[in-house]
Structure 1
């Protein structure tokens, strides 16, 4: 187990508006509890590697080339969770992100973070980006929670998310024949953070756009390209 007092001090040092103190609570399975304001966060040490998921680490290598090597070398992990139900998903994500950042600051052996079994990030990136855990919209660290992955499509190019389901029960699959790759990724990232902030506001059949000339159609579908997962299928019309 990490030093929970040191963890509380690290979280408070990194996020001074967040009151933290060590709460009594050593679990039977070797867990401990940290109180952050009116929330309780459980930390449990597991002396074994996480179950192998080649897809997880393959996705991670698109931005982190050493992901596979780190995954193969690790021998233990810490499970972090917020205790209680019916909590706002964004508030829960912010708090867990901050606590995980504090763990990395106090446990130098931490090499990576796996978020919600879907997204893997290097510990150094998490340590840096988690300082923005409580930043206002749109500056909180949503890239720690959601992957945005490019692909080729029949229309031209596309991008699909992984991890957004935790917030709005669907991923985004955006296909375009008009946008450059950089513009596409920027648009999908903007839509990700908007949905995290406002919830499932896109309805089946909606049309939206950044200006009067841009029209993007939205359909609820089970993806034909990504194992039938539920998506907001977004398309920007013919060229």
Structure 2
């Protein structure tokens, strides 16, 4: 089983955000989804007896799409992370919009797929389904103040997220799923890294140091993210990426500089050895 997860930060819990309402909204929003596969679901209980729509004993709301279970769990507290700082660093949170630091509740939205015949789940497609659910929930409730992807540690303005999903899906939308962070160290050396690729079954990327500008680092990371999302983990440990005739970039798998417990792809610049100049014709004659 694999799971994709995000959170909806809310001013308050909204009792109108039910499985029945979400089912109707998703069918309206996403006509390309097979309506026969989208239905009310059941969350298995400890005794094996689940209840459709969460039942009267649980606040959890459940849908199913094919072999995927969609679960929404409302929780009447904050998540504890520093939302002010996360909003300040998110490229999908406008600077002019205040961070929702006073939000009072959140809903965990999870899509869980149960692979068949030993086949791996398509995590990019699963993230797309999760995004459809989030976008439809935004249309249903005015209580939603932010969409938070914990794996990427970044937030998206709800209205912007819904517009992005409607304009992009079913194509992948890594701009919403993956955070790309670029900045200079205290010594002025430029660095960059991604967060959130693990939700897509991919490795995050880190550039520990580079002489490139912030714009060049952002462009390089964005290009590699898009390439991996499209093609999978086709860049192996030790591979080199051509940057120019004078420089090459080697990919090294190893512990993250920010979190040693995580394995990442580090991009290390290497100078291309210059060929030694040939011996002049007159020296060859003398020798």
TM-score bracket for this pair, using the shorter chain length: 0.7 to 0.9
* Gaps in structure 2 of 5+ consecutive residues: 1-14, 42-51, 116-120, 273-287
Partner residue in 1 for 2:58: 29
| Residues 194-233 of structure 1: pairs in structure 2 closer than 5 A | 194-209=227-242, 215-224=248-257, 226-228=258-260, 229-233=262-266
| Residues 60-99 of structure 1: pairs in structure 2 closer than 5 A | 60-62=87-89, 63=91, 64=93, 65=95, 69-70=99-100, 72-86=101-115, 87-99=121-133
**2:243–2:249 Cα contact (<8 Å) kept:** no
**2:131–2:165 Cα contact (<8 Å) kept:** yes
Write out per-residue CA displacement over residues 123-178 of structure 1, whole angstroms, 9 at most, x where no aligned residue: 1221111222312xxxx211111100112257931211111123345321125645
Structure number with larger C-alpha Rg:
2
TM-score (normalised: structure 1):
0.83
Partner residue in 2 for 1:167: 200
| Residues 47-196 of structure 1: pairs in structure 2 closer than 5 A | 47-50=76-79, 52-54=80-82, 57-62=84-89, 63=91, 64=93, 65=95, 69-70=99-100, 72-86=101-115, 87-117=121-151, 118-131=153-166, 132-135=168-171, 140-153=172-185, 156-168=189-201, 170-175=203-208, 177-196=210-229
Partner residue in 1 for 2:5: none
TM-score (normalised: structure 2):
0.70
Return the alpha-carbon distance in structure 1 between the equivalents of residues 97 and 267 of structure 2.
30
Higher RCO (C-alpha 8 Å, min separation 6):
2
Alpha-carbon offset, residue 37 of structure 1: 4.7
RMSD between superposed Cα atoms in Å: 2.7
| Residues 4-15 of structure 1: pairs in structure 2 closer than 5 A | 4-15=19-30
* Gaps in structure 1 of 5+ consecutive residues: none
Alpha-carbon offset, residue 33 of structure 1: 1.7
Aligned pairs, number: 231
